[in-house]
Amino acid sequence: MCTHALTTRVKAALMVQPASLAAILIGTPTPLLHPPLPVRLQPPAAVHLPTVSMSTDQDETTNLNEMFHQKRILRSKVRKALKSMDLSLRSQEDNAIQSNVLEASWFKSSQRLCAYISCSALREVDTSKLLSEILQNLAKDGCAQTAKKLYVPRVEDKNSHMRMLNISSMDDLIANSMNILEPAPADGVGNLREDVMQANDPVDLFILPGLAFDRSGRRLGRGGGYYDTFLRKYQELARERNWKQPLLVALSYSLQIMDDGIIPVTLQDVLVDALVTPSGFIPISKSALERFDNGL
């Protein structure tokens, strides 16, 4: 790749002037509205930078690498804290978070959702009660018009490519190589499951996992870039179709909420609209604040 192409990609990923890079690194609070969509960059490892007049670009590449390095450090700290979390506290927080979701009007009124299948080995906030409520309603109701439709993640490859496929029962899931339950592409009788990107109707709610969050909507994932890539594509689809953007809600244990300035972000990172913690709902974006104010 030529140096110019690298420079352009790195700048596009940072989407900042050099002077404001420090602000990103130290994590100045972002506005409540989400920033413009960034461009995903390739890791710049194999590029040879010329020695003249490129110090700024080199600095930017170094800073970007430093940002990913800081993310890795934070990930391992949070993983460690989650591993030593008291079991009864964890179970108490799992229950409180799920009750907060189940009682929320934005959850009750949602018709089509994407949610993660929690993995206890990864110490993720439990979603089993939410999933069984959604799927039970589907089974009870029988009427597709009023029951909620559920889409869950399926990792397709290691290049941050994930799909969200429709399931109607927990029996539709099998463990993948990472030991996370996910749907096979086709059901038991060979019919392909509906991919949310091909659905005719919009998703209104995403329930998101993550390792760390803050009150400005920053989210640190597990490092694969799967959700950021997927969410940007879905937001683009919603724009093209003039759909209302889905509400992005992340579930967080108390210890996963960081002070502002701790979570490094590039503009590739999609901000969440709200958090659900054991103590309640934290609206962040304008859209979440509106729903919260209106009791929606």
Ligand X SMILES: Nc1ncnc2c1ncn2[C@@H]1O[C@H](COP(=O)(O)OP(=O)(O)OP(=O)(O)O)[C@@H](O)[C@H]1O
Ligand Y SMILES: Nc1nc2c(c(=O)[nH]1)N(C=O)[C@@H](CNc1ccc(C(=O)N[C@@H](CCC(=O)O)C(=O)O)cc1)CN2
Q: Order the strands of the 212-214 sheet from edge to edge.
A: 219-220, 212-214, 257-258
Residue 99 interacts, among ligand Y, ligand X, none and using kind-specific CB cut-offs from 5 to 8 Å, with none
Residue from the set 222, 237, 245, 260 that interacts with ligand X by CB under 6 A: 222
| CA distance readout (Å), 77 to 71, 83, 211, 275 | 10, 10, 10, 20
* CB-based contacts of 239, cutoff 8 Å, min separation 6: 245
Q: What are phi and psi of 248, to 5 degrees?
A: -100, 110
Looking at beta carbons only, is 213 or 226 nearer to ligand Y? Answer: 226
Q: What's the CA gap between 65 and 167, in Å, rounded?
A: 38
Q: What's the CA gap between 218 and 46, in Å, rounded?
A: 30
Angle at 183 between CA 177 and CA 184, to 5 degrees: 80
Q: Which of residues 50-69 bind ligand X (CB under 6 A)?
A: 64-65, 68
43 binds ligand X (CB under 6 A): yes
Within the chain, residue ranges assigned H as helices are 3-14, 18-26, 55-83, 87-103, 105-108, 128-141, 226-240, 286-293
Q: What's the CA gap between 195 and 166, in Å, rounded?
A: 7
Q: Which of residues 245-284 bind ligand X (CB under 6 A)?
A: 269
Quick note: the x/- pattern for ligand Y over 192-211, rule CB under 6 A, is: -----------------x--
In the complex, minimum distance from the CB of residue 21 to ligand X, in angstroms, rounded to a whole number? 14
Residue from the set 153, 246, 264, 278 that interacts with ligand Y by CB under 6 A: 153
Residue from the set 129, 224, 232, 292 that interacts with ligand Y by CB under 6 A: 224
Size of the site for ligand Y (CB under 6 A): 18
Residue 220 interacts, among ligand X, ligand Y, none and using kind-specific CB cut-offs from 5 to 8 Å, with ligand X
85 binds ligand Y (CB under 6 A): no
Quick note: the x/- pattern for ligand Y over 102-121, rule CB under 6 A, is: --------------xxxx--
Q: What are phi and psi of 212, to 5 degrees?
A: -150, 150
Binding site for ligand Y (CB under 6 A): 79, 116-119, 122, 124, 153, 155, 162, 178, 180, 209, 221-222, 224, 226-227
Binding site for ligand X (CB under 6 A): 41, 43-44, 64-65, 68, 71, 160, 220-228, 269
